[in-house]
Amino acid sequence: MDLGNLDYIQIFRSSFTLMILLLCSILAVTFTVERFLFYRRAKGDSTRFLSRIKMSLENDDYQGAITLCERDRSPVAAVLRVGLINHQLPYNQLQELLSAAREEERVKLERYLGVLGTLGNAAPFIGLFGTVVGIIKAFHDLAASGSGGPTVVAAGIAEALVATAGGLAVAIPCVMIFNFFMRKVKTMSVEMEAVATRYLVMLEVKKEEGGSSRKR
């Protein structure tokens, strides 16, 4: 049998499994584009941004520093904004607030990634299910016709295996994209933690310098 003679359009129309995989692929593309644009907007130079915040703190311009954070769309800026608004709190309380802010930003970074991970895990099984159903149908058709022999079965199995190929075609990119995005989330999470720690140190140093100047 020449596989090139398979009518893939007809196979697609007659297979509900391939319709499900098409829906999965549309979801995967949609969330991939959304997350890509989100991470692109969230990307920034945390070291340079923290330096600008430090300059504002040296001038006691907390409101100016808050304004800088509000103009920036990165998760680092969102965490620092919480720290600046609550800078008068004791160290331990401020540390807890910054930790909570980091967790909130991480949730935003991981939004929709679960969908990509689920599609990557589930798509092969959906395709395999379609293949099993197709093989059952092929043998049923063979039994019903009573003729045709292996040629009829081979054609039916070849059509059924298209579902497995479709499942893999959806799953492999989803897994790769999921891992790529999770790497970005991990990197941004480390940046948020590092910047929050540096900000706390800067604030403590400033408070100590302020206390020393008042004693003099």
**Tens digits of per-residue pLDDT, 128-167?**
998 888 888 777 777 776 665 666 677 667 777 888 998 9
Within 13 Å and on the Cβ side, how many CA atoms surround 171? 16
- pLDDT tens digits for range 164-203: 998 999 999 999 999 999 999 999 999 999 999 999 988 8
The mean of the pLDDT values for the chain is 85
214 falls within a domain? no
Domains of the chain: total = 1
Amino acid identity at 140: H
Q: Are the C-beta atoms of 162 and 185 separated by less than 8 Å?
A: no
Domain that holds residue 172: 3-209
71 falls within a domain? yes
50 falls within a domain? yes
Give the C-alpha separation, 73 to 78, whole Å: 7
215 falls within a domain? no
- pLDDT tens digits for range 18-55: 889 999 999 999 999 999 999 998 888 888 888 888 88
196 falls within a domain? yes
216 falls within a domain? no
- Residue 59 is given by DSSP the state T
